[in-house]
């Protein structure tokens, strides 16, 4: 097994995740079995307990891991389902080491930060490779080099390289700013971050330079001789309008070929034909449609972040591009929602969420969509609020609500799942939601079954509340269609309305399964209806 570490320098947010995903795709396209691991330095065991303002989206895998959004990038690029072995946090590492120490599994040894922490990391990297039957394991180290948090992941890299020189390489992603007051691209920050990396005993094999433009020859030369690497191993990663172009940009610089040579792997040829075809569609699309996401937005100081809905945004794009449509996303703040926000909007998504904030705005938006034939796709909380809206305004259940929002409501049409109650009573919050892949049966003749073109599906979940079984009958009698149910028919998984261009909501998160080359059927439905 071979290993590629990916680190970042200078600033965060350089797109290391996309770089990792792109490298994985390039190798996969050469017939190599790859897997990718995200290492996060936080002490949280997983991302499930971190608030979205701090973490962005929590991505969920088939096997129910609440993880970093980079895992979402990996899946969207290599079009494969990843699992719990693909996500490593300091929290997991320390938890396991302390568990082992308490059960005397170290046989009286003195348990130390070094080597025991990096050794546990290495054990996990190797296990991930073995269990995913990978030839190449790509390991993305979260954060930037030089910070205290991730030094042990870097140390794990050093130890692996020391043991198996031929099998481990390192890609460093750095930033070359072009300050407006200078009008010149500067390479010093990259040189500095490589120096920091070197002081941890790691010499990078490739430097990927994120910058506004491609790096020119003189700057490549400078980076090469100051950082001890060949000029052709300095790879440009300029700003592009779509992240899906990055694998092609790397391919043009023969990054796959160069990596394979360094790792001593012989592989078949591939020109990335299918991927390129999909990228061409991004270019071609001409008709613009506007999709509103009525959500909660995180404002930190002067900046508003939409990262919490990244999979939703990507799913909209995937479905639009394949229909030769250019999607324009409009961020609509649920807390300040007015009907005027939906003027000129062709379709809306109400994404998942937790807690009270913005709830009434979401309900108003759903009411507007229902009454005006505006295409609507509700996701998880989006389904729950669609049921609340329907109960209030069609079934006449005044002030109906979810008990998450109003525990004292007279009509708890959305209620906590019985097995979830126990967890909350014991303050047992970590990884206890209904998580990951569950089967769902679709009713014949519904929009959902037509879009999926099958009657049995598997989708990913992350919730504690459900449509209250006590209200199933009254909701259905008033015309709400349960188009998807759990196999035992107890849980409502998809709802829809007749006589509406597209009014569909899911208790699960279809956005976690949409892929660039394989868009999700429900997003296809939303886009096609919005286009009409
Ligand atoms: N807060 C809701 C629940 O826990 C919805 C969760 C979500 O949208 N992911 O059921």
38 lines ligand 1 (CB under 6 A): no
R_g (Cα) of the chain, nearest Å: 24
Going by pLDDT thresholds of 50, 70 and 90, the confidence category of residue 56 is confident
> 354 in ligand 1 pocket by Cβ < 6 Å?
yes
Task: Please list the active-site residues.
Answer: 380, 509, 511
What the chain holds in terms of domains, given with CATH numbers, is 3-277 (3.40.50.300), 285-531 (3.40.50.880)
Indicate if ligand 1 lies below 6 Å from the C-beta of 353. Answer: yes
**Ligand 1 mean position to 462 CA, how many Å?**
7
Q: Give the nearest ligand 1 atom to 414 CA.
A: 10
Lowest-confidence pick of 48-52, 87-91, 246-250, 421-425: 48-52
Q: Residue 52 has what pLDDT?
A: 79
The residue whose CA has the least distance to atom 1 of ligand 1 is: 354
How far apart are alpha carbons 226 and 487 in whole angstroms? 62
Distance in angstroms (rounded) separating the CA atoms of residues 197 and 50 = 29
Q: Which of 404, 463, 466 to mutate to test the pocket of ligand 1 (most atoms within 8 A of CB)?
A: 463
Tell which one of 52, 383, 403, 404 to mutate to probe ligand 1, the residue whose CB is within 8 A of the most ligand atoms: 404
- For 427-444, what is each residue's pLDDT tens digit? 999 999 999 999 999 999
Each residue of 295-317: pLDDT tens digit? 987 676 766 666 689 999 999 99
Q: What percent of the chain has pLDDT over 70?
A: 98
Ligand 1 site, residue 161, Cβ cutoff 6 A:
no
285 has pLDDT over 80: no
Parallel/antiparallel/unpaired status of strands 206-211 and 34-40 = unpaired
Summarised one tens digit per residue, pLDDT across range 340-390 is 999 999 999 999 999 999 999 999 999 999 999 999 999 999 999 999 999
Closest CA to 209 of 190, 227, 226, 196: 190
Query: For residue 366, how far is the Cα from the chain centroid?
Result: 25
Residues 201-227: pLDDT tens digits? Answer: 999 999 999 999 999 999 999 999 999
Q: How far is the CA of 109 from the centre of ligand 1 (A)?
A: 45
Highest mean pLDDT among 49-58, 265-274, 297-306: 265-274
CB 352 less than 6 A from any atom of ligand 1: yes
Strand-pairing partners, residue 329, are 291
DSSP structural state of residue 518: B
Mean pLDDT on 228-256: 96
pTM value is 0.95
- C-alpha 42: how far from chain center: 17
In DSSP notation, 139-162 reads EEE-S-TT-STTHHHHHHHHHHHH
Question: Which pair of structure tokens corresponds to residue 23?
Answer: 């490298």
Angstrom distance (rounded) from CA 11 to CA 246 = 19
From the CA of 416, give the closest atom in ligand 1: 10
242, 485 Cβ separation under 8 angstroms: no
Q: Using CA atoms, how far apart are residues 36 and 219, in angstroms rounded to an integer? A: 31
CA of 527 relative to ligand 1 center, distance in Å: 24
C-alpha of residue 461 to centroid of ligand 1, in Å? 9
Q: What is the mean pLDDT of the chain?
A: 95
Which residue's alpha carbon is at the smallest distance from atom 8 of ligand 1?
352
Residue with the smallest CA separation from ligand 1 atom 5 is 381
């Amino acid at each position: 097994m071979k290993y590629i570490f990916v680190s970042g320098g200078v600033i965060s947010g350089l797109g290391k995740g996309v770089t990792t995903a792109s490298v994985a795709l390039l190798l996969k396209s050469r017939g190599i079995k790859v897997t990718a691991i995200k290492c996060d330095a936080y002490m949280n065991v997983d991302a499930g307990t971190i608030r979205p303002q701090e973490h962005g989206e929590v991505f969920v895998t088939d096997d129910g891991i609440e993880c970093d959004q980079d895992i979402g990038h990996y899946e969207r690029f290599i079009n494969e389902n990843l699992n719990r072995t693909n996500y490593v946090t300091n929290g997991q590492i320390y938890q396991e080491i302390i568990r082992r120490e308490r059960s005397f599994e170290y046989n009286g040894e003195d348990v130390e930060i070094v080597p025991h922490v990096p050794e546990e990391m290495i054990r996990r990297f190797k296990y991930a490779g073995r269990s995913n039957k990978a030839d190449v394991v790509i390991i993305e180290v979260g954060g930037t080099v030089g910070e205290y948090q991730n030094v042990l992941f870097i140390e794990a890299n050093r130890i692996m390289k020391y043991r198996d020189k031929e099998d481990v390489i390192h890609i460093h992603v750095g930033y070359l700013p072009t300050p407006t007051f200078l009008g010149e691209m500067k390479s010093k920050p990259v040189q500095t971050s490589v120096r920091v990396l070197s002081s941890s005993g790691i010499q990078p094999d490739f430097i990927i330079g994120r910058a506004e433009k491609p790096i020119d020859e003189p700057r490549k030369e400078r980076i090469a001789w100051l950082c001890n690497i060949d000029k052709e191993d300095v790879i440009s990663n300029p700003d592009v309008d779509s992240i899906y172009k990055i694998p092609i940009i790397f391919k043009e610089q023969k990054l796959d070929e160069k990596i394979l040579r360094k790792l001593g792997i012989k592989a078949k040829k591939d020109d990335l034909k299918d991927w390129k075809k999909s990228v061409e569609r991004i270019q071609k699309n001409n008709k613009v449609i506007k999709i509103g996401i009525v959500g909660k937005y995180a404002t930190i100081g002067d900046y508003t972040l939409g990262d919490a809905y990244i999979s939703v945004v990507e799913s909209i794009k995937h479905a639009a591009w394949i229909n030769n449509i250019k999607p324009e996303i409009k961020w609509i703040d649920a807390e300040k929602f007015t009907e005027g926000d939906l003027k000129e909007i062709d379709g809306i998504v109400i994404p998942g969420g937790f807690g009270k904030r913005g709830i009434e705005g979401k309900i108003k938006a759903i009411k507007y969509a229902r009454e005006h034939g505006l295409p609507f796709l509700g996701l998880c909380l989006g389904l729950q609020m669609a049921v609340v809206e329907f109960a209030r305004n069609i079934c006449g259940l005044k002030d109906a609500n979810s008990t998450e929002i109003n525990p004292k409501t007279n009509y708890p049409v959305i209620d906590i799942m019985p097995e979830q109650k126990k967890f909350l009573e014991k303050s047992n919050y970590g990884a206890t939601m209904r998580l990951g892949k569950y089967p769902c049966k679709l009713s014949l003749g519904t929009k959902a079954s037509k879009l999926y073109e099958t009657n049995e599906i598997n989708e990913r979940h992350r919730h504690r509340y459900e449509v209250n079984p006590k209200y199933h009958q009254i909701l259905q009698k008033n015309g709400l269609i349960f188009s998807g149910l759990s196999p035992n028919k107890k849980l409502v998984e998809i709802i829809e309305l007749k006589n509406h261009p597209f009014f569909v909501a899911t208790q699960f998160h279809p956005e976690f399964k949409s892929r660039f080359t394989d868009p999700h059927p429900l997003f296809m439905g939303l886009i096609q209806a919005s286009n009409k």
